[in-house]
Amino acid sequence: MRKKRRIKVSHETPFCILKDSLKFNDYQYALPHLLEENEEYRNHFLKCKEDGVEIYLDNSLHELGYAMDNETLLKWINILEPSNFFIPDVWEDAKGSYRNALEWSKIEVPENTTKIAVVQAHNYTQASYLVLDYQELGYKKLAFSYGASYYNRSCPHPNPDFGKAMGRFMAISRMEREGILTNYYKVHLLGTAWPAEFGMYKDFDFIESIDTSNPIMAAIDGDRYDDLGLPHKPSANMNDFQNIKRYGIEDSILQHNVWKFREINGL
């Protein structure tokens, strides 16, 4: 019998349930712009560091539209000493992301911090070459965003959220089949447009970790997961709901969605 692997999962949450997230997240996912701006958020992650809770540090591209500057990122890398750090990438720009990866390949970080290079591209060919380029630079862990436009061109489904999820799966599957992605790499999956997507990766030994706010955002919308999660991406966006009050989130839906997410994906 094939041994069931453990894939680490984290769900980003509003400020009001940061402490609660310690009960259902395998690690804490930190955004540097919020570390800079919000004392409550900052203190939460300083406490996590003190208590030995695993931390992944993002670069805030998804939230800001651009990655935070190197000086700020290095400050928080050295303060939090995250287990994983997403080096600055440029949205759907393979050349720009490679230039950043080249620069960060020469920047020292704490010994126990793994640098993650994010695969950004306009099409599958660019993405596959970028994976090989990252390998030459010495990166051992990669990440694939949920939102690349070429995913929908690969899978032009009437439901664009489902098509986007399937498009990413098809890209990663093809890279594995062509020997571009091997067990030399570890892979992180950034977000999702369709919460049942992750169950399709159960036989991919290189998938190490995932993050998605999907079950939390669905709960904020008041939507309860069914056996496939939701057929659409929640309308709520974390950028707009960081300051929501706890009473604005129905606890029974929140708990159901977090539990159902793991059940759906066999996690």
Alpha helices in 105-250, H assignment, sequence order: 124-137, 149-154, 160-177, 214-221, 238-241
21 falls within a domain: yes
Q: How many domains does the chain have?
A: 1
Q: What angle do CA 101, 34, 24 make, to 5 degrees?
A: 90
Please tell me the predicted confidence (pLDDT) of residue 233.
87
**Distance separating alpha carbons of residues 209 and 9, to the nearest angstrom:** 6
**Distance separating alpha carbons of residues 252 and 267, to the nearest angstrom:** 20
Mean pLDDT, residues 83-108 taken together? 98
Please tell me the predicted confidence (pLDDT) of residue 4.
54
Given a cut of 80, whether residue 236 has pLDDT beyond it is no
2 falls within a domain: no
pLDDT digits 0-9 by tens, 158-213: 999 999 999 999 999 999 999 999 877 899 999 998 999 999 998 899 999 999 99
Write out the two tokens for 42.
């900052």
Q: Quick one: 247 exposed, middle or buried, by C-beta within 10 A (0-12, 13-18, 19+)?
A: exposed
Work out the mean pLDDT of the chain and round it to a whole number: 94
Report residue 5's pLDDT band, with 50, 70 and 90 as the boundaries: low
Given a cut of 70, whether residue 2 has pLDDT beyond it is no
State which residues form the domain around 199: 8-265
Please tell me the predicted confidence (pLDDT) of residue 21.
97
Of 166, 100, 153, the residue nearest 130 (C-alpha): 100
164 falls within a domain: yes
pLDDT digits 0-9 by tens, 7-58: 999 999 999 999 999 999 999 999 999 999 999 999 999 999 999 999 999 9
Please give the DSSP secondary-structure letter assigned to residue 6.
P
Are 196 and 231 spatial neighbours (Cβ–Cβ below 8 Å)?
Answer: no
Mean pLDDT, residues 259-264 taken together? 95
109 falls within a domain: yes
Q: What angle do CA 63, 45, 37 make, to 5 degrees?
A: 45
Domain of residue 92, CATH code:
3.20.20.105
Please tell me the predicted confidence (pLDDT) of residue 182.
83
Most confident of 94-103, 152-161, 184-193: 94-103
Mean pLDDT, residues 49-68 taken together? 97
Report residue 143's pLDDT band, with 50, 70 and 90 as the boundaries: very high
Please tell me the predicted confidence (pLDDT) of residue 198.
94
56 falls within a domain: yes
Please tell me the predicted confidence (pLDDT) of residue 113.
98
The neighbour count for residue 174, using CB atoms within 10 Å, is 15
Given a cut of 80, whether residue 1 has pLDDT beyond it is no
Question: What are the residues whose beta carbons fall under 8 Å from the beta carbon of 48, sequence distance 6 or more?
Answer: 22, 28, 55, 80
CA 118 to chain CA mean position, Å: 10
199 falls within a domain: yes
Torsion of CA 245, 251, 254, 259, to 10 degrees: 150
Of 54, 44, 7, 37, the residue nearest 192 (C-alpha): 7
Are 35 and 85 spatial neighbours (Cβ–Cβ below 8 Å)?
Answer: no
3 falls within a domain: no
Q: pTM for this one? A: 0.95
3-state SS class at 118 = strand
Alpha helices in 38-159, H assignment, sequence order: 39-51, 61-64, 70-80, 94-104, 124-137, 149-154
1 falls within a domain: no
Dihedral of alpha carbons 68, 94, 217, 49, sign: negative
